Amino acid sequence: MADRDRDETGRPRNTRPRDALGRPLPHGSEGVARIPDDLDLPPHESLTYAQELLDSGMAFHAHEVLEAAWKNGPDDERDFWQGLAQLAVGITHVQRGNLSGAVGLLRRASERLADEPARHGVDVAGLLEHADALAADLAAGRDVAPERLKPRLTI
């Protein structure tokens, strides 16, 4: 078995380059810049960075920023950050053409965020409405304009 790159705890890392939609590329390919495994930003900076990535059509990478925020944040904000990360992954699935996966993740994001208070300037109510409408349109087979894949995270 080939040696695998592992972190300091022994967990395997995926060091393959990725494309703008987060899909792995063959080793040696040139991919887009990766989100560092040890990313640890204050909430406002995480949201700003994730928004920049969403606006650039890089929802997978936005998900990685939001996932880092949930892993580094306080326990009482775990569902909040996970819901935001799920929203970004749902959008990733739309971008990749996996519409049924997108619908499921958008619905899970909505369910997770439904009972969460607005924190850090995030427009939770607006994101719930956005995720629900996007999931409904995808489930009904309606076309989705590219701008709908760039939700505003904050008010």
Contact between 104 and 30 under an 8 Å Cβ cutoff? The reply is no
> Is residue 13 assigned to a domain?
no
Q: Is residue 17 part of a domain?
A: no
Cα separation, 4 vs 155, in Å, equals 43
Report if residue 21 sits inside a domain: no
The answer to whether position 66 is within a domain reads yes
20 domain residue, yes or no = no
Give dist(CA 30, CA 145) in Å, integer.
29
CB 93 within 8 A of CB 81: no
Q: 100-142: per-residue pLDDT in tens?
A: 999 999 999 999 999 999 999 999 999 999 999 999 999 999 9
Q: What is the Cα–Cα distance from 89 to 49, expressed in whole angstroms?
A: 16
Count: domains in the chain: 1
Is 87 contained in some domain?
Answer: yes
Residue 119 located in a structural domain: yes
| Residue numbers of the domain that contains 104 | 43-149
By the 8 A CB rule, do 81 and 52 touch?
no
Residue 70 lies in a domain: yes
What does the pLDDT average to over 37-49?
95
* pLDDT of 46 higher than 50: yes
pLDDT value of residue 6 = 60
Domain CATH for 120: 1.10.3450.10
